[in-house]
Amino acid sequence: MSLRKKTGEWIRQSVFVGPGLIAFSIIVLVPFLLGFYYSFTEWNGLDLNKAKWIGMDNLNRIFANDEKFWASLAFTLKFTAVTVLITNGLAFVLGLALSRALKTRNFLRTVFFLPNVIGGILLGYIWQFIFTKGFKTIGEFTGWPLFELPWLGTPGTGFWGLVIVFVWQSAGYMMVIYIAAIVGVPKDLSEAAVIDGASYWQTVRKVTIPLIMPAVTVCLFLTTSNAFKMFDLNLSLTKGGPGTSTQSLAYNIYAEALVNNRYGLGTAKAMIFFVLVSLIAITQVWLTKRKEVEA
């Protein structure tokens, strides 16, 4: 009796969870475990049977002499810090502005959200054109020094070029999350604050922000992990150049595995990357979770 019940339960579980689990295993779990194995081998990515077990050599190599990997890590950290700040600042301000009673509200929301619909590769190419041709033409007409810089041609402009496009692309999405949260703040609380004599900014700071902390958590988490994993934009906008000065960590891994044909070393880097992303994500969620309050 109880055995039959148990089998029934099993069948039900596997019918409902099974398909998803199988897909997840094939697409995520198995490749991940394989990657874990390959990170200890020397392999060119072609014939599976030619992967040679070399133990910790890949990791030793990365930690002992792989300047480019560490340079790209430094670049990625800097990029993440800058973009997370700017994106969230901008998205929050946009969210505040577009949750007020404006006539063009819906139109503007669409406009700011639109860049997010275009894929990163395409955006990169569009902006590459804007930076190298558009900015140049504006510079020729106006003579403004900002537009006369060799955009994307120097490490500095390459970095800020990436930041601009990344912020432009992701601020719209974060804005939508902020709008949803701001609209969800109970009216009575802000009204009470106003009656008590609080100015607009005081209300924002003391009432709105504490109440939308869950949204802040989500947005910070999304922007951090997106910025840290940035790849498509990097590939199409600067190709990591000039030189390797704007090479993100993800791009460095890609180049190691698919350009240099060192799959083993590439997956070893990817494993380090995975650990880093998890660490950052966990700490950051844990930190902001503590700040969340309930109304």
Write out the residues near other proteins by the rule CB under 8 A: 68, 131-132, 136, 150-155, 239-245, 255, 259-262
Q: Shortest gap between Cβ of 279 and other proteins (angstroms)?
A: 28
Whole-number CA gyration radius for the chain: 24
Least distance from C-beta 136 to other proteins, angstroms?
Answer: 6
Nearer to other proteins, 149 or 212 (CB): 149
Residue number with CB closer to other proteins (155 or 210)? 155
Give the burial class of 229: count Cβ atoms within 10 A of its Cβ; 0-12 exposed, 13-18 middle, 19 or more buried. Answer: middle
Nearest CB to other proteins, comparing residues 66 and 232 = 66
Nearer Cβ to other proteins, position 35 or 241? 241
CB of 147 to other proteins, least distance (A): 12
For residues 268 and 59, the answer to whether their CB atoms sit within 8 Å is yes
Residue 145: cis peptide before it, omega within 30 degrees of 0 = no
Cβ–Cβ < 8 Å for 93, 156: no
Of 150 and 210, which has the nearer Cβ to other proteins?
150
Minimum CB separation of residue 257 from other proteins in Å reads: 11
Minimal distance, residue 55 CB to other proteins, in Å: 17
**CB count, 10 Å around CB of 108?**
15
* Residue 266 Cβ vs other proteins, minimum distance, rounded to whole Å: 11
**85 to 6, 91, 158, 219: CA distances (angstroms):** 52, 10, 19, 11
Q: How far apart are CA 160 and CA 269, in angstroms?
A: 26
Name 35's Cβ contacts closer than 8 Å, sequence gap at least 6: 267, 270, 271
50 or 291, CB closer to other proteins?
A: 50
Q: Residue 237, CB half-sphere, CA atoms under 13 Å: how many? A: 30
Contacts with 281 (C-beta within 8 Å, 6 or more apart), sequence order? 221, 224, 225
